[in-house]
Amino acid sequence: MGYKAIVDCNSFYCSCERVFRPDLWNKPVVVLSNNDGCIISRSDEAKKLGVAMAGPYFKARHIIEKNGVSVFSSNYHLYGDMSRRVMDCLRVLLEDCSHEKVEVYSIDEAFLDLSNIPTDQLLEYGSYIKNTVEQWTGISVSVGIASTKTLAKMANHMAKKNKKATGCVKAILTEEDQRIALQLSRVNEIWGVGRAYANKLINWGITSAWELSNMSEEWAHRNMGGVVGVRLIRELRGFPSILMEEELIAKKMIATTRMFGRPVSELSELKEAVATYISRAAEKLRRQNSAAKIVSVFLVRREEDYSADFKQSPSLNSHTVLPAATSFTHELIKPAVDLVENLFEKGREYKKAGVMLAGLVPDKSVQGNLFHSENRNGNRFLMSAIDNVNFGMREDAVKFASSGLQKNWKMRQELRSGRYSTRWEDIREVK
């Protein structure tokens, strides 16, 4: 039987901050969401103090200040780079460059195919993975191993729940291991069971994973979403039904959205924001060698600016279909800005905006046009030069004027740490 493992980074955002701040090890740390609004990551020390996950920052401020908790704004450049390092480390450990044995599930989780590892060596190999990732990247991880993805997630949850006893590594290898794990796991802790289904199961008297695993496949098909429910029952019984998937390299849709640092009411500022988001989305588009046929824009008004009877949505959106697919930033900015003008309502205040590029096709498949000037052919080289400069120096070193200069609408990140691994000016000094 082939076994699966999931490697899950512990309090990932907090761990990333600690890599470059060793003085914070074993001390309480929290990371805030966009605009420093809510708490989205907590170290174990912060959890013990009673800091609530996903709670508003201002509500936990008295606990944070009283106990000297270190607080950081989200630093997505740092987190993205550290995630890449962790995943590359896992690929090296499995001696696999084709991504067939490593499935990146999220920014801080990856499934591993351990079919080639003897059963009696799995627990030791899990510890080897954990120790090596921590040594190479500085990010602490937990490892769960089992015959199916669902049981591996369960094992990982158990490893994180009792880190001292498990050493952050837990393997479900025998029928007895599986029975105990299922009996100890509540239905709301099962991977793939959402809150609504968990409440239904509890109302039906099914409170543990063990009780759920003993339900028939016919019952699961009837009461838990058809084939999806059947797969879950099989996974809980130890029969792999959710296969390893290849990493999706080329996205079918690219979006960029941000909250504003303050309410925005001026059309000019909304245009700047959308032009900035389009520039970022266009970079991602070119990175995967694609071109977009459809441009969409949405604006979100403040709650006070739309009807409270729920007949009117706070979100306004619109899209346009381009004459031809393109990856050139300036050709995407113009229709996006036109959409903003159509959506804008004077006197309203907006808290968020976003753009989406769809109808993606391979850039090489875009047919040339004899009626376009020769200068347009140089746009490809221009875009490549801009991308290279911005990648090598910093974001927006070269940008389109429509993106604005001051950007007073930008998201608040007052407590953001340095981009230690992606900016020369932020690199740490060793004395």
Write out the catalytic residue numbers.
109
* Residue 200 buriedness (CB in 10 A; 0-12 / 13-18 / 19+): middle
Could you tell me which of 230, 240, 228, 154 has the C-alpha nearest to residue 189? 154
Distance CA 9, CA 46 (A): 17
Distance CA 238, CA 148 (A): 6
The secondary structure of residue 293, as a DSSP letter, is: E
CA atoms within 13 A on the CB side of 11: 24
| Type of residue found at 227 | V
Helix axes 12-19, 76-93, angle to 10 degrees: 90
Gyration radius of the chain's alpha carbons: 25
DSSP β-ladder status, 141-146 and 109-113? unpaired
Distance CA 144, CA 151 (A): 8
Q: Are 80 and 13 in contact (CB under 8 A)?
A: no
DSSP β-ladder status, 361-362 and 315-326? unpaired
Distances (CA, A) of 331 to 337, 343, 396, 412: 11, 20, 18, 29
| Sequence-ordered list of residues with C-beta below 8 angstroms from that of 145, at least 6 positions apart, any chain | 3, 4, 5, 114, 122, 123, 126, 152, 155, 169, 170, 171, 172, 173
Token digits for 142? 């937990």
Distance CA 321, CA 312 (A): 26
Helix axes 329-343, 267-287, angle to 10 degrees: 140
List the alpha helices (DSSP H) in 224-297.
227-236, 267-287
Distance CA 5, CA 306 (A): 48
Nearest 5°: the CA angle 78, 83, 84 is 100
